Amino acid sequence: MHEWALAEAIINSAINIAQNKNLSKVESVLLRVGEIQQIDLDILSYAIKELSQGTLLENAHFKYKIHPAKIFCHNCGNLWDYSESFSKLQEEEKEAIHFIPETIHVYVRCPKCGSVDFEIKEGRGVWIEEIT
């Protein structure tokens, strides 16, 4: 599952940030998770807990904020919420997008004009927003 690989990248990045700030201990980490990523937060949390053992993040509390996805149609100018399209997808389609977000163009169309010529404006990726 890519949540484990993501957890490893988060841990490494958070440790680097904490070390650059000369922190000897981290109490909390706030992560912003893009809706398009469809991350299983239970798996991610477990992976983070396991992978942070023995590091300065070992006792840190990880908090998650889901960043809603907005999609813009280049054909008609429509801006819509990804959740509108997500609810109409089959489970296999959701899974494909989960593992390879770029496949969204295969499964999603603009709800206004039906075009696949759209751009994800917000709601992709995972960011460390805050470390305390």
CATH of the domain at 37: 3.30.2320.80
What count of Cα atoms within 13 Å lies in the side-chain half-sphere of residue 68? 8
Q: Give 3-state DSSP helix, strand, coil % of the chain, rounded to 5.
A: 40, 25, 35
Residue of 106, 119, 95 lying closest to 37 (CA atoms): 95
The backbone torsions φ and ψ at residue 21, rounded to the nearest 5 degrees and listed phi first, read -90, 5
Domain count, the chain: 1
Average pLDDT over residues 97-101: 85
Average pLDDT over residues 29-50: 95
Average pLDDT over residues 8-29: 95
Residue of 128, 9, 7, 122 lying closest to 67 (CA atoms): 122
Query: Residue 48 has what pLDDT?
Result: 97
pLDDT over 90 (residue 42)? yes
Q: What is the mean pLDDT of the chain?
A: 94
Residue of 98, 73, 97, 70 lying closest to 84 (CA atoms): 70
Beta bridge partners of 127: 32
Look up residue 64 and give its two tokens.
């998650």
Model pTM score? 0.84
The residue range of the domain holding 9 is 2-131
In Å, what is the CA distance from 85 to each residue of 13, 107, 111, 115, 118? Answer: 32, 9, 8, 13, 13
